[in-house]
Structure 1
Amino acid sequence: MSGGDQIRTTAEAHEEAALAQARPNARVVHADPDISSAEQKPLPEAIARKPVEEKSPAEWAYERLILYIQNFEEQLDGDHEIAMGFAGSDSGVMRIEGIGFFDPDIVTFYGSDETGAKTQLIQHVTQLNVMLRALPKQVDDEAPARIGFRLVADLEQEAPVEAETAHGER
């Protein structure tokens, strides 16, 4: 071995890999580009310390739910507190204002309910069921929000790179 070579333990290699990966793959697109969400924020050191592949799905989902709850609460005023509803109940309809994912198994929907209350649905991919429904826009004199166009535009920005990589072309 030359003087610059080092022998690393398996634990050191895992720690190095965890530190090199700033965060797992996550994406979100909102109708309002100024919205801040959990998918965009760096992972706290306490969560990033242990590599994702060493976590159980339950542990990893729990940690991401904490991030979502923290981010949601940061957007509340002093007159409101967080509550939770469960999918599959009679929780009503949500106006979709944002959609995101967090690998490996969570999809989240941002929006408001029929009364205008801010809502967010966080769902495991194995439980994913979506019904799309047209609702009257909230303010008659404003243009309707079109999240679908923003989602497609975001996908199109990445499509050429993915296509080139898939075919091995540059």
Structure 2
Amino acid sequence: MDNEIRTAAEAYEADALPRRYEVQIDRESIQAQDEKVPGAAGDVPPARKSPAQWAYERIVLYLKKFEEQLDGDHEVAMGFTGADAGVLRIVGMGYFDPDIITFYGADPAGGKMQQIQHVSQLNVILRALPKAVKGEAPNRIGFRLVQDLEKEAEQQPATT
């Protein structure tokens, strides 16, 4: 047992993290919740992950599933709520333990952007935008982030 003090709500939320429930009319829609986090990260119980790592891994799966539904002329971007910041074409993502998620990218005009968000305020809207560079393959950040999780797992020493 750790000596960390938690509110009843935090304890209840931590207990409920691995569960989900949803109802959708379109049975073919995004089902990122059904995907296992790739690599060794998927074998780590949620209770042993920071809120930032837990959120990062879930968002990676949502990004990948969203991209699977895009045609070759579109890429994923993130919309913002409650601000006039527009959208961020996602080119990278990370987390800073214990509670910060970061999105890297550019606005539709090519201006550099970075979204830094506390996990308690996390609100991500995925949008499809036309490719930034016509004639080239679309950027698929979700797939690269999944590959990174798998590569990281290969580099982890085996635990006994």
Shorter-chain TM-score: which interval? 0.3 to 0.5
TM-score for both structures, normalised by structure 1: 0.42
TM-score for both structures, normalised by structure 2: 0.45
- Larger relative strand fraction: 2
> Larger relative CO (CA 8 A, sep 6+): 1 or 2?
2
Higher CA-based Rg: 1
